[in-house]
Amino acid sequence: MTRVLVTGATGFIGTTLCAQLAAAGYRVRAALRVSRPLPECVAESAVTGDLATVSDWRPALEDVELVVHAAALTHMVHAAPADARRYADINARGTGRLAQAAAAAGVRRFVYLSSIKVNGEESTRSYRPDDRPNPQDLYACSKLEGEEQLRAAAASGMQAVIVRPPLVYGPDVRANFLRLMRWVDRGWPLPFGAIHNRRSLVNVWNLSDLIVTLLTHPRSVDGVWLVSDGEDQSTPELMRRLGGALQRGVRLLPVPMGVLRICGALAGRRAEMTRLLGSLTVDMAATRALPWSAPVAMEEALARTAAWYRAKCR
């Protein structure tokens, strides 16, 4: 049975990913910061410590053929310059140390969960895998540096596979998506009726399915891969669909975009408003040509996420 090491195995994405890996017949080993109870889908664990400081990955990588690196210091809306070192220690240098150790241990393929924020914050056309990176904040810069560290470590022959997802949603989602769900659930009038943007999203089941596909695809899959549910939405469309999933009516007021941007800036929430008002879509042509298609439709994924929200967040 092929053994795969997963970092971030107990996180938002890692939990679903490990379940899908086990269902696909892999023996899952979780790399943990501290010892903790694990679900049945995780066959083994290795306590490695903090990604920012761990230097010896050899016990965790013993007899491992494949690695999925999903652990990271996640995006913070109000990250301060003082956070730059922490981002670099975990997302960049931590990734580099793991990638170097994996290459030395003979790992065949290394899948790194990066972010579409490496490409930028807004797009006038869909981002493509070969677009020049344009990271705009500390988190995105650290993820790009992590990609570069992986490529350098893989120069000796290990396949370096980079996945850049847009906003990921599903049970246990946090940040902007959870905030949207709360707004819709509370029935507040929302000032987004005049917005005509387009946003790509991916649910955690589709993202995990692509990672499983990339792990053992018969041809080399080195390079960058983009993923989405394949149903780009405007912010008002997404709110209406969330309302349907939550069985809530949605009242959208047609406030001009310029007014919303000014209000966001005055409230110190310029970046958050950009994500609600701007467009960011991904070009899935190369991913579909693997071939790969999203197994879970957005309607079903929103229904599953709404069921979690009703059970855990109300």
CA gyration radius for the chain? 20
Peptide bond into 291 cis (omega under 30): yes
CB contact set of 66 (below 8 Å; sequence gap of 6+): 2, 3, 4, 5, 26, 107, 108, 109, 110, 111, 215, 216
Q: Which of 60, 156, 166 is nearest to 113 (CA)?
A: 166
Question: Strands 66-69 and 44-47, how do they pair?
Answer: unpaired
Contact between 195 and 235 (Cβ < 8 Å): yes
Contact between 212 and 21 (Cβ < 8 Å): yes
Catalytic residue list contains 139: yes
CA distance 44 to 105: 18
Given 26, 127, 139, 309, the catalytic residue: 139
Contact between 286 and 213 (Cβ < 8 Å): no
Contact between 222 and 160 (Cβ < 8 Å): yes
User: Residues with catalytic annotation?
Assistant: 139
